Structure 1
Amino acid sequence: MAGSVQRALLFLDVDGPLIPFGAASEPYPTYAMGPEPHGAGGAGANPLLARINPEHGPRLAALPCEVVWATTWMADANECIAPRLGLPQLPVVVWPEPSDIDDQDERNGLHWKTRALVGWAAGGPFAWVDDEITDTDRSWVAAHHPGQALLHRVDPRHGLTGGDFAALDSWLSQLA
């Protein structure tokens, strides 16, 4: 369609951005959860899920992009995380088999997710929100991805903050 703009993707990791971890000095806030959706796990559910701030759901939904799970939680993100955030079922990046990941990339400091996310974006604009992004990933994406990209590192001790949402919204809004 002439004149149409490709909607940006937002690749979202779970552990670190949505489930904070790693702070040694103070307990994490936890959030009361309503009844568990079918399939989301009941009393035996992962206790770390209580760290997910339900206010992140509306904030993610308000961003001008398509949110895609980019996490080792894979389809479990739609079963366990999306309902807690009030989000619909989201697309899920399917990761390459470990045997298909280039060992040289890892030795050079490239995150094992980087190539797969650039491939999924297929030249279109994307933001990647993760707690493991490095300058090596940024350099590789700049050299191998023809579209616009924002690699946004979240401090895993705090998870997503208002500042992170402001940075994402600002970048995504500039694309329009």
Structure 2
Amino acid sequence: MTGPGRPPLLFLDVDGTLIPFGATPEQLPGGYPTYDNPFAPGANEIHPLLARIDPALGARLAALPCELVWATTWEYEANQWIAPVLGLPELPVVCWPDLVDEPPRGLHWKTRTLLAWSAGRPFVWVDDEITGVDQAWVAGRHPTPALLHRVDPSCGLTDRDFTVLDAWLRAVGNAPTGTDGR
């Protein structure tokens, strides 16, 4: 178990994860679908890319057995602009330190901060820039289960992603202490 009242963390990126980008006209001949955001009227005019966020993702994220945490360069603006679009409450935010030293070759600049922020708790990191270097680095340094889940930025979070996330989070939430959910 993750401890009484302490579900696994889910570190959530925004760009490429909630806001898809980069698809070619061949992949999406009509372009990206856009949504009216009932939770944040007028947000699409202020930040046009917010129209790409499917508001239905909010309920799906809230239903996952975890503690959601923003892990995005939007930082606190994610609570101002993204959370209302999704109908989510204000979430904790990972603030990125100024990097004093370069991360090891190939390691994402977020990886070390997320590992420290988790303070040993099981976690999922959902991002479009995760690589095998990040996976290996976390596997060798984190004492509890961690899932680094890469999302295809051209389509953002999909049903398949939610299936993987939900299954992993439920398995970790029911696992005895010390098991490895990787």
- Deviation track 1:117-163 (CA, whole Å, cap 9, x = no partner) reads 00001111000000000000000000111111000000000000000
SS of 2:140's equivalent? helix
> Is 1:165–2:169 an aligned residue pair?
no
Summarize the Cα distance change of 1:63–1:49 in structure 2 as closer, same or farther, 3 Å threshold.
Answer: same
Deviation at 1:35, TM superposition (A): 6.9
Partners of 2:102 and 2:130 lie apart in 1 by 17
| Unaligned stretches of 5+ residues in structure 1 | none
Q: Which residue matches 2:95?
A: 94
Q: TM-score when scaled to structure 1?
A: 0.90
What pairs up with 1:1-176 in 2 under 5 angstroms?
A: 4=4, 6-25=6-25, 26=28, 27-34=31-38, 36=40, 41=43, 43=45, 45-98=46-99, 100=100, 102-105=101-104, 108-175=105-172, 176=174
Do the aligned partners of 2:103 and 2:109 also contact (CA within 8 Å) in 1?
Answer: no
Partners of 2:79 and 2:155 lie apart in 1 by 22
Summarize the Cα distance change of 1:30–1:42 in structure 2 as closer, same or farther, 3 Å threshold.
Answer: closer
Question: Which residue identity is paired with 2:91?
Answer: L
SS of 1:23's equivalent? coil
Q: TM-score when scaled to structure 2?
A: 0.87
Partners of 1:35 and 1:66 lie apart in 2 by 21
Do the aligned partners of 2:10 and 2:68 also contact (CA within 8 Å) in 1?
Answer: yes
Deviation at 1:103, TM superposition (A): 1.5
Question: Which residue identity is paired with 2:165?
Answer: L
Do the aligned partners of 2:20 and 2:52 also contact (CA within 8 Å) in 1?
Answer: yes
Partners of 1:46 and 1:167 lie apart in 2 by 30
Equivalenced residues, count = 167
Question: Which residue identity is paired with 1:16?
Answer: G
Deviation at 1:77, TM superposition (A): 0.3
Deviation at 1:104, TM superposition (A): 4.7
Partners of 2:70 and 2:123 lie apart in 1 by 13
Deviation at 1:32, TM superposition (A): 1.2
